[in-house]
Amino acid sequence: MALFITFEGLDHSGKSTQVRRLESRLQRAGRSVLVLREPGGTPVGETIRHILLDKGTHGLTDAAEVFLFSASRAQLVEYVIRPALEKGQAVICDRFFDSTTAYQGAGRGIPADIIRTVNRWATGGLTPHVTFFLDISPAEVQRRMHAAATRRDRMESGGDDFYGRVRERYLGLAKEEARFKVIDGTRTVEAIEQEIWKHVEAMMTEEKHATT
C-alpha cells in the first residue's frame, strides 16, 4: 500500500526528529520507507536548495522564490516520489506544497489563486494522504532558534509577524483539509511520536480492511 506522509511546521518545530521516529516505527512494522526533505532530494533540487537558503543570495523576488521551491518540488515528484509510491513504498516528506501556501502565500503575501495553480502544476495534483502540522508559536520559534545558536539561513530571517502569518495559514489549512492533523509541538518528543503513530497505524489498519 502506498502511503504518502508529509510534515509541516514553523522552523524549529521538531519536524526532522519526528520524521526519523516515524521512519523507525514504519520500518519496525515491516514497511519500506523513503525519507525526503524539501527543498532538495534530487541533484537539481539540492542546487536550488542552496540558492534558496544561502544568506549570500540577494535580491530574490517573491515570484522567483515561489518558482524555485516549486521547481525543486516538480523534480522530486517526477523522479523520486511518484516512482516510490508506485513501488508501494511509504514516503515521508519533510515539507511539501503546504509550505509554499503558508510561507510564500501568507508569509510573503502572494495571492492564493496563484499559489494554488503553481502548487497543482508542480505536483501534477499529487496530494499527501496525511499531513502532520507540528504547531508552535512564533515566540517559541525565536526561543528555539536562540537556544540552537546555529547561523540562521535566508528563510529563517523572518520576525514574529512573518511567522505569525505563516502559522495562521497553516491553522486555516487544518480547517479546510481533512488530511491535516494539528499536533501540539510543545509536548515531549515521545508524546508527539505516540500521537503521530496512532494516526498512521489507524490509516494502515483501515487500508488493510479495505483491501481484504
What strand order describes the sheet that includes 3-9? Answer: 33-37, 90-94, 3-9, 130-135, 180-184
**Is residue 167 within the footprint of ligand TMP (CB under 6 A)?**
no
**Is residue 38 within the footprint of ligand TMP (CB under 6 A)?**
yes
C-alpha cell read off for 127:
496530494
> Which position among 8, 11, 135, 193 is part of the footprint of ligand TMP (CB under 6 A)?
11
Alpha carbon 40 to its chain's center:
12
What is the residue type of 72? S
Residue-wise over 65-82: b if at least 16 C-beta within 10 A, else e? Answer: bbbbbbebbbbbbeebbb
> Which position among 5, 19, 39, 136 is part of the footprint of ligand TMP (CB under 6 A)?
39
What is the residue type of 138? P
Could you give the CA distance from residue 67 to residue 71 in angstroms, rounded to a whole number?
A: 6
Site mask for ligand TMP (CB under 6 A), range 68-107, x = bound: -x------------------------xx---xx--xx---
**Is residue 164 within the footprint of ligand TMP (CB under 6 A)?**
no
**Is residue 155 within the footprint of ligand TMP (CB under 6 A)?**
yes
Nearer to ligand TMP by Cβ, of 11 and 193: the residue is 11
In angstroms, what is the minimal distance from the CB of 203 to ligand TMP?
23
Q: Applying CB under 6 A, which residues contact ligand TMP? A: 11, 37-39, 69, 94-95, 99-100, 103-104, 155-156
